[in-house]
Amino acid sequence: MRKTGESYTAARTILLFKPPRRAIAPRPPTPDYAKLAGMSDKAIEAKTGCTWQKWVEHLDYVNAHTGTHRELAEYIHEKHTVPGWWTRTALLTKGK
């Protein structure tokens, strides 16, 4: 009150004000990428070093939706040292 020069009531109102709670939308369930791709997490991880979920996260992070299939396959091959055919397999997650 002394700092701002406001009346007691105005200062108290600001201190006691609680913003309304926002409703948080529930998170949609995570898709079963292994089922969608027709290959288990264990198999893709053994050949590429990442599970389907990790590939989705990584491809989202690098905005994979903006690149061509070929560009992304080359990127995965160079960045993650994934053998040729498996780079294209990892891209099965591109569209989520």
Cα(73)–Cα(67) distance, integer angstroms: 10
More confident residue, 28 or 4: 28
* Long-range pairs of 70-79 with CB within 8 A, sequence gap ≥ 24: none
Please determine, for residue 42, whether its predicted confidence score (pLDDT) is greater than 90: yes
Please determine, for residue 95, whether its predicted confidence score (pLDDT) is greater than 50: no
For residues 63, 67, 71, 73, the Cα torsion angle rounded to the nearest 10 degrees is 60
* Domain annotation covers residue 38: yes
* Domain annotation covers residue 40: yes
| pLDDT tens column, 5-41 | 778 777 777 778 777 788 888 888 888 989 988 889 9
* Domain annotation covers residue 3: no
Q: Which helix (H) or strand (E) holds 42?
A: helix 41-48
* Domain annotation covers residue 13: no
- Helix (H) and strand (E) counts for the chain? 6, 0
Mean pLDDT computed over every residue of the chain: 81
More confident residue, 96 or 81: 81
Where helices occur in 1-96 by DSSP H, the ranges are: 8-16, 33-37, 41-48, 52-61, 69-80, 84-90
Domain that holds residue 64: 28-93
Give the pTM: 0.60
Tally of structural domains, the chain: 1
* Domain annotation covers residue 16: no
Q: What is the mean pLDDT of residues 32-60?
A: 89
Q: Which two tokens stand for residue 57?
A: 């996260």
